[in-house]
Structure 1
Amino acid sequence: MRKSYRVKKEEDFQKVFMQGKSCANRQFVVYVIDKPNQVHFRVGISVGKKIGNSVARNWVKRRIRQSLTELKPHLRQDCDFIVIARPPISGVSMADTKNNLMHILRLAHILLA
Structure 2
Amino acid sequence: MDKKYILRNNNHFKKVYKKGKSYGNRLVVMYVYENGMDYNRVGFSVTKKIGNSVVRNKIKRRMKESYRLNCYKIKDGYDLIFLPKVMANKASYREIESAMIHLLKIAKLLKD
Q: TM-score, normalised by structure 1?
A: 0.94
Give structure 2 stretches of 5+ with no counterpart: none
Tell me the distance in 1 between the aligned counterparts of 2:75 and 2:7.
15
What corresponds to 1:68 in structure 2?
67
Alpha-carbon shift at residue 2 of structure 1 (Å): 2.2
One-letter identity of the residue aligned with 1:50:
K
User: What is aligned with 1:33?
Assistant: 33
Aligned CA RMSD, in angstroms, stands at: 1.0
Aligned to 2:21: 21
Q: Which runs of structure 1 show a deviation greater than 4 angstroms over 4 or more consecutive aligned residues?
A: none
Paired with 1:61 and 1:98, the residues of 2 have a C-alpha distance of 12
CA distance in 2, matches of 1:28, 1:111: 17
Q: Percent of aligned pairs with the same residue?
A: 35
Q: Distance in 2 between matches of 1:15 and 1:67?
A: 24
Q: Say which SS state the counterpart of residue 108 (structure 2) adopts.
A: coil
2: CA distance, partners of 1:67 / 1:73: 11
With structure 2 as the length reference, what TM-score do the two structures score? 0.94
